[in-house]
Amino acid sequence: MLVFPAVLLPLAAGFGLDMVQTLALSFWMYLLFGVTALPWGLLADKIGSRPLLGLFHLGAGICGFLAALNISNPFLFSLCLSGIGLFSGIYHPVGLGWIAKEVENTSRGMALNGMFGNLGLAAAPLLAGSVNYFYGAQAVYFVLAVVNLSGLVFLYLAKGSKEQGVVKKVEAGSKQSLVPFLVLLVAMMLGGVIYRAVSITLPAYFELQNQNLYESFLSVAGQFGSANVFATLITSTIYLVGMGGQYFGGRVGQKVDLGYGYLLFHLITIPMAIGMSLASNIPLIVFAMIHSFFLLGMQPLENTLVARLSPPGLHSSAYGLKFILTFGVGALSVGMVTGIKETFGFATVYLTLAGVSCLLVSVIVVLNYFRRRVA
C-alpha cells in the first residue's frame, strides 16, 4: 500500500497529470482496503484465517502484475490499484484475529506483528524509490507483485497452528457492555484518518520541503541521487523509527493500563504534527520521527484493547469493524488532503491533523471513563 505514495510524483509525470489528479487514482484502493475489512473478518470467523491469507497474497500479487502492465493507462491502472486494495483488506482483520486467538501474551504478539509490519512500511518507499530510479514505475509494480506472491511460501511454512485458540483475558464488564468497544471504534476511526493522511503525503512533503537537505545529499550521492530517492529514503528511515515505537508500545502495554498508555501516545503526536507543519529540512525530519514513533507505537495498545473489549469468539469480526473504520473512513482523508492542499497549502494538512488528534484524545478520555464504569 505504501508503494503508491512513494512513486506519486513520478507517476504524475508519466501520466501527464498533476499530483492531486494522480493522488485521486488511489481513492478506490484505500476505500476498498477499509470497507472490505468487516466481511473478510466475518468470513474468517467462519472458515479460519489461513485460506483467506492465501487469497490475500495471490489476489494482491496478480493485481500488482496487472498494474505494471497498465502503467500507461490511468483508468486501468486505478482499477488495478482497486484490486490491490480489495485483496489487501484481508490482512488486518484476519491476521490480527489470528494473533488474538492464538497468542497468549496479546500485547507482545501485536508488538511483534507491528514491528515486522513497520519493517515492510520502511522497505516499501525505499524499494519503490530505488527501483523507480533505475527501471521506472512499471518495474516497481512488477516487484510488488513478486513480493506479494512470495507470501504464499511463508504462509505454507507457518504450519504449526491448529487455530484452536487460547483462553483470552477479557476486561471485566466487557461481556455486559459494548459501550467501551463502540467508543474505541470512534477513536480508531479518527486514528485512521490521521494515519492515512500522513502515509500518503510524507514522501511528497519531504520532497518539496527538504530542498536544502536534498542539495547536500546530491553532493554526496552524485548521479545516483534524485529528489524522489532522497524523499523515500527519509520516509523509510521514519518508518524504521516507528518500528521501535511498536516495540516500545508492546512493552508499555504489558506494564501500564492500556487506556492510559493509548491516551499518552496520541497526546504526544499533537505538538509533533504542529511542528511538521512549520518546519523544513532537519527539524521537519525530527518532528516526523517522533510523530511516527508514537503514532505507530500506539498500535499494539490499540489492538490489545480490541482483543480485550470485543465480544468473545468474534475477534476477526471485531478487527474487521476496526479496519472498516480506520482504513475505510481513513480513505476519505485522500479527499481531505487534496482539498486542504489546494485551498490552504501543503503545510496546513499537518495543522489539520493536529486538530484531529485533539479530538481523538478527547474520545480516548471518554473511553477510559466508560472502561472504569464497567470494571
Could you read off the pLDDT of 228-245 as tens digits, one per residue? 677 777 877 887 888 889
At 20 the pLDDT is: 82
At 174 the pLDDT is: 46
Amino acid at 154: F
Could you read off the pLDDT of 305-363 as tens digits, one per residue? 998 888 777 778 888 888 777 776 776 787 888 888 888 888 899 999 999 999 999 99
Annotate 27-56 with b (16+ C-beta within 10 A) or e (fewer).
bbbbbbbbbbbbebbebbbeebbbebbeeb
Please give the average per-residue pLDDT across 129-134, as a whole number. Answer: 88
Annotate 95-121 with b (16+ C-beta within 10 A) or e (fewer).
bbbbbbbbbeebbbbbbbbbbebbeeb
For residue 375, name the pLDDT band (cuts at 50, 70, 90).
Answer: low
Could you read off the pLDDT of 242-258 as tens digits, one per residue? 888 988 998 898 888 99
C-alpha cell at 44: 474468517
Contact 140, 13 (CB under 8 A): no
For residue 49, name the pLDDT band (cuts at 50, 70, 90).
Answer: confident
At 150 the pLDDT is: 94
Amino acid at 371: R
At 166 the pLDDT is: 47
Residue 74 has pLDDT above 90, yes or no: yes
Phi-psi region of 222 (alpha: psi -120 to 50; beta: other; left: phi over 0): left
Long-range contacts of 360-364 (CB under 8 A, 24+ apart): 360/187, 360/190, 360/191, 360/194, 360/266, 361/263, 361/266, 361/267, 361/270, 363/183, 363/186, 363/187, 363/190, 364/187, 364/259, 364/262, 364/263, 364/266
Structural fold of domain 3-156+171-374: Growth Hormone; Chain: A; (1.20.1250)
Specify which of 6-15, 281-290, 329-338, 356-365 reaches the highest per-range mean pLDDT: 356-365
Q: Which comes out higher in pLDDT, residue 164 or 11?
A: 11
- The residues, any chain, with a CB within 8 Å of residue 365's CB and separated by 6 or more, are 263
The CA dihedral of 32, 336, 200, 34, to the nearest 10 degrees, is -20
Separation between Cα atoms, residue 322 and residue 208, nearest integer Å: 33
Could you read off the pLDDT of 159-217 as tens digits, one per residue? 655 555 444 555 544 445 689 999 999 999 999 889 888 888 887 787 777 777 777 76
At 361 the pLDDT is: 97
Contact 36, 89 (CB under 8 A): yes
Separation between Cα atoms, residue 357 and residue 155, nearest integer Å: 36
What does the mean pLDDT of the chain come to? 85
Contact 262, 302 (CB under 8 A): yes
Domain boundaries defined on the chain: 3-156+171-374
